[in-house]
Chain A
Amino acid sequence: MAEVHIIGQLTGASGFPSANLSCKWSIVAGEEWTLLEGSIKGHTQVDLPVDARFSVWSHPIDVHYSTKSIKGWPKIQFQIFHQDRFGRNELYGYGFIHVPTTPGMHELECMTWKPLSSNSNKLWEFFLGASSQLRDTDVIHNGADRFRLVTATMGKVHLELGIILRNFSNYGISMS
Chain B
Amino acid sequence: MELNYNSLSSISSLLQNPFEDPSLQTSLNRTTYYRSFDSIENLKIKAHLVKIADINHRNIFRNIRDVSNNVTDGLPYKEVTIDETNKENDNNLNKSFSSLKLEKSKSKSNISMATSPLPSAYEVVIGWQEKIFSPTEVFKYADVGTYPTTIERKHHIQLENILSDSKSIEAQLIRKNKIESSRNIIKKRQLFTYVDADNHIDQDMLYPLIENMTNEEPVTKLAKRKLTIRDKKRHTSTNYEDEADRLIFPGVHNEQPGFYSSFREMHIMGYFERGEKDKEEKMYEILARKKASLRKKRENKLDKDDNNEEDEETQDLLMSLEDNNILTNVEEAEVNYVEKRLCTIRAYENGWISMTPAYNQKYRFTIGDYDVYEFSLENCSSQLTSQEEHKEWDLFETVDKKRLEIRNYIVGKDFQEIPEMLGFRLMIFGEIVSARKFDESSIYIQYSLELPKYWKTNDTHSPKQMLFGNTQFTDFIYDPPTDDYEARFAFPFEFDLLSAHYDPYIKWPVLYFHVCTKDKWCRNVTLGYGFYNIPWMPGHYDETINTWRAYPSISERMGQYFVGKTLTLEDITYINFPKGFNKKYLNKYGFQTETSGSIRIRLNIAHQIGSFHLINPNKNDNGFLKNNNLKEILDALLRARKRVDFLRQQQQNKKDN
Contact = CB atoms under 8 A, between A and B. Distances in A.
Contacts of B179: none
Given A71-B462, A172-B612, A113 B474 contact: yes
Given A70-B427, A71-B496, A143 B471 contact: yes
A34 B470 CA distance: 31
Contacts, number: 157
Interface of A: 1-3, 15, 32, 34, 36, 53, 66, 68-71, 73, 75, 94-98, 100-102, 106, 110-113, 140-144, 146-156, 170-176
Contacts of A154: 477, 488
B486 A176 contact: no
Nearest to A163: B540
B608 interface: yes
Contacts of A68: 412, 414-416
A111 B490 contact: yes
Given A146-B469, A175-B538, 10 more contacts: A70-B425, A71-B496, A101-B427, A102-B604, A140-B490, A146-B471, A147-B472, A151-B473, A153-B476, A174-B538
A159 to B, nearest CB: 12
Contacts of A73: 427, 429, 604, 606
A73 B608 CA distance: 14
Nearest to B618: A170
B488 A147 contact: no
A146 B472 contact: yes
Contacts of B412: 1, 68
A3 B416 CA distance: 14
Contact of B490 (A100, A113, A172): A113
A98 B492 contact: yes
A97 B479 CA distance: 19
A107 to B, nearest CB: 11
A156 B425 CA distance: 33
Given A71-B416, A106-B540, A149 B490 contact: no
B368 to A, nearest CB: 50
B130 interface: no
Contacts of B444: 147
B616 interface: yes
B141 interface: no
Nearest to B476: A153
Contacts of A143: 466, 469, 471, 491-493
A112 B488 contact: yes
B411 A66 contact: yes
B477 A175 contact: no
Given A101-B429, A143-B471, A146-B472, A153 B604 contact: no
A153 B618 CA distance: 51
Contacts of B476: 153
A172 B609 contact: yes
A151 B430 CA distance: 20
Given A3-B411, A15-B480, A147-B469, A113 B489 contact: yes
A1 to B, nearest CB: 5
A21 to B, nearest CB: 15
25 contacts: A34-B411, A36-B407, A69-B416, A69-B461, A73-B606, A94-B490, A96-B492, A98-B431, A100-B540, A101-B538, A101-B605, A112-B488, A143-B491, A143-B492, A144-B469, A146-B469, A149-B473, A150-B474, A152-B475, A153-B486, A172-B612, A172-B616, A173-B606, A173-B609, A175-B538
